Structures are given as structure tokens and as C-alpha cells.
């Protein structure tokens, strides 16, 4: 039964004047759909199309030219390295946090959940800034780090740390509600049948949450590769060294090199589309197990 039939059925038994009040006329329906489409078209669709239109404005050769720049290649490499560190780090944390929160009862649980969500509430600029305060030259560990010749701010470790911070809650917040809802009966049964803790986790818990886990990881990945504000504060913008893809886009754009800026940006836009596609597929899988 489609949603439409669900909505139609009870109304059809009502008197005509009541039907008219409950079910909006076709006119209202299409008016609302047109308003929504125009709004989304202006605010979401046109910006998306613009990225690709501007990238290919001067043809395919110019488009690919943007990627032969060594600085662009270095930026892509740094972004991949950052994501490859940030995602596993937050994935392991997400699994540990959801296991302890969803499988056990202890006081202060809600406070812990709020604290995990905290990085989402903090402006990206401030997220980067706290690491500058901590590791920067004027910061707490700054003098000691300088003495031992360890660079964190304006270097790759700072970028990785800031990225881990802004993507911190993604995996945990997908897993916790789902695991709380599922309860622990299946795990208890597995333990009762003699499975070890690890085996229970691998064979029972993980298969039960695999889609939510994947969902959290792709959201985490999209943010890790696309983070701009926090990374911009800690990076120092050294071309070819501490520029990620979004920072490289900014530099090209500010140099009025629009085609190259949008060409590199189109990589990120493509990643965003891929993320949305995977997300839709996962949601479909949830509804049709």
C-alpha cells in the first residue's frame, strides 16, 4: 500500500464538507509543491549546478588542467591522509561509546551523551582555535613543543586533530540510539550459548548495526574531507604542505582563478553527491530489510 492510499482511505468515508476540510484541494497541494520546488531550486539546486557549470566553463582540458598542479595533488593527498586517520579514530570511539552507553546503566549517562554531541554545537572557527591555544607558540604546550622541535599547529598533526574534533560525534550518534532501541537480548543469548565477549560483538552486535555504522562513517568522511573553518585556523595555509582540498579551493578563488577553484571544488561536490546517494540507499535498506 502506498502512502497515498494510507492517507486516502479513512477520509473517503467522511461527509463531503468534512472531506474538503481534511484533504487539501489539488490546487493547494500543487501550489505547495511548486513553492517547495522553487525554494529548493533557488537555494540548493542552482548552487550545486553552478559548481559544475563554472568548472567546465572553459572546457574539459582546462578542467583537468587544475589537477595537474602539484599544489592540488598535495592538497588531495593531505585530505585523504587526514580522513584516513580521523575516520578510524572516531569509528573506534563510536563503537566503544555506544557499547558502554547502550548496553549498561550508569548515572550521568545523559550528560555523557550531551558531551559527545558537544563538537556539533561549537563554531568550527572556535574548534580550530582551541587547538591553537593548546599547542600554538603562545599556548600551553607551545614552548615545550618548540624546544623539542615538534610542530603541531600550522602542520599536519594540527589539521588531523581539528578534523577529529569536528567529526567526533558522527559515528557515536548514529550507533547509540539504534543500539539502545535494539536492546541486549540477542547478545545475552549469545553469551548464554557460550560465545565470548569478542565473538558476541563481532557476530551479533556488529551485523545488527552495520548500516548505521556505514551511515555514520560516510557522514564522518564527508565532513572530514570538507571541513573548512576549523582546519583553516590551524593550517597556516602553506601551499603544497598544509593545504587541504577546501583550503586549496579558497586560495584559487581568492586568486581569481575561478575555473581551477571550481574544478577542485567539483571533486568535493561529487563526493557530496556520492554521500547523498549512499545515504539514500542505506535508508532504503532500512525500510526494506
Partner 1 sequence: MKFKFKKYSPLPGFGLTFGYTIFYLSLIVLIPLAALFFKSFSLTWHQFWDTVTDIRVLASYKLTFMAAFIAALINAVFGFIVAWILVRYQFPGKKFIDALVDLPFALPTAVSGIALTTIYSKNGWIGQILEPIGIKTAFSPLGIMIALTFIGLPFVVRSLQPALDDLDLEVEEAAACLGANCWQTFYKVILPAVLPSLLTGFALAFARGLGEYGSVVFISGNMPLKTEITSLLIISKLEQYDYAGATAIAVVMLIISFVLLLLINLLQSWNNRRVNNGGVN
- Restricted to residues 47-66, the positions that interact with partner 1 (CB under 8 A) are 47-48, 50-51, 54
Near partner 1 by CB under 8 A: residue from 58, 151, 239, 279: 279
**Residue 272 touching partner 1 (CB under 8 A):** yes
d(CA 150, CA 106): 40
Q: Which stretch binds partner 1 (CB under 8 A): 26-34, 59-67, 70-78, 143-151?
A: 26-34
Alpha carbons 90 and 119: distance in angstroms, whole number: 13
158 binds partner 1 (CB under 8 A): no
How many residues sit close enough to partner 1 to count as binding (CB under 8 A)? 107
Spell 170-183 as b/e; 16+ CB within 10 A means b: bbbbbbbebbeeee
Is 275 among the residues that bind partner 1 (CB under 8 A)?
yes
Give the C-alpha separation, 62 to 58, whole Å.
Answer: 6
| Beta carbon of residue 232, minimum distance to partner 1 (angstroms, whole number) | 8
Q: Which of 243, 246, 259, 263 binds partner 1 (CB under 8 A)?
A: 246
The candidate with the shortest Cα–Cα distance to 186, out of 202, 199, 205, 210, is 205
User: How deeply is 142 buried, as exposed, middle or buried, from its count of CB atoms within 10 A (0-12, 13-18, 19+)?
Assistant: middle
Q: Which of 1, 70, 107, 256 binds partner 1 (CB under 8 A)?
A: 107
* Residues from 170 through 229 that contact partner 1 (CB under 8 A): 184, 187-188, 191, 197, 200-201, 219, 222, 225-229
Report the alpha-carbon angle 85-87-88, nearest 5.
75
Q: What nine digits make up the cell of 46?
A: 542552482
User: Candidates 65-73, 96-104, 143-151, 207-215 — which segment interacts with partner 1 by CB under 8 A?
Assistant: 96-104
Amino acid at each position: 500500500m502506498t502512502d497515498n492510499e494510507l492517507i486516502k482511505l479513512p477520509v473517503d468515508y467522511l461527509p463531503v464538507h468534512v472531506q474538503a476540510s481534511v484533504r487539501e484541494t489539488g490546487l493547494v497541494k500543487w501550489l505547495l509543491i511548486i513553492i517547495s520546488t522553487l525554494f529548493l531550486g533557488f537555494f540548493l539546486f542552482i548552487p550545486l549546478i553552478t559548481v559544475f557549470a563554472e568548472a567546465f566553463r572553459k572546457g574539459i582540458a582546462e578542467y583537468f588542467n587544475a589537477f595537474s598542479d602539484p599544489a592540488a595533488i598535495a592538497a588531495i593527498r593531505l585530505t585523504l591522509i587526514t580522513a584516513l586517520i580521523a575516520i578510524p579514530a572516531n569509528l573506534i570511539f563510536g563503537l566503544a561509546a555506544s557499547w558502554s552507553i547502550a548496553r549498561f546503566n550508569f548515572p550521568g549517562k545523559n550528560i555523557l551523551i550531551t558531551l559527545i554531541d558537544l563538537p556539533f554545537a561549537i563554531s568550527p572557527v572556535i574548534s580550530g582555535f582551541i587547538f591553537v591555544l593548546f599547542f600554538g607558540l603562545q599556548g600551553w604546550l607551545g614552548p615545550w613543543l618548540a624546544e623539542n622541535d615538534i610542530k603541531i599547529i600550522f602542520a599536519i598533526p594540527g589539521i588531523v586533530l581539528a578534523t577529529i574534533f569536528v567529526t567526533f560525534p558522527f559515528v557515536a550518534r548514529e550507533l547509540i540510539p539504534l543500539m539502545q532501541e535494539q536492546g541486549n537480548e540477542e547478545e545475552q543469548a549469545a553469551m548464554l550459548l557460550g560465545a565470548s565477549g569478542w565473538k558476541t560483538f563481532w557476530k551479533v552486535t556488529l551485523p545488527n548495526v552495520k548500516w548505521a555504522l556505514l551511515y555514520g562513517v560516510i557522514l564522518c568522511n564527508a565532513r572530514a574531507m570538507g571541513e573548512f573553518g576549523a582546519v583553516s585556523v590551524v593550517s597556516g595555509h602553506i601551499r603544497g604542505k598544509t593545504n587541504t582540498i577546501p583550503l586549496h579551493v579558497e586560495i584559487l578563488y581568492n586568486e581569481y582563478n575561478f575555473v581551477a577553484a571550481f574544478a577542485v571544488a567539483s571533486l568535493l561536490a561529487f563526493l557530496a553527491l556520492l554521500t547523498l546517494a549512499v545515504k539514500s540507499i542505506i535508508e532504503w535498506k532500512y525500510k526494506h530489510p
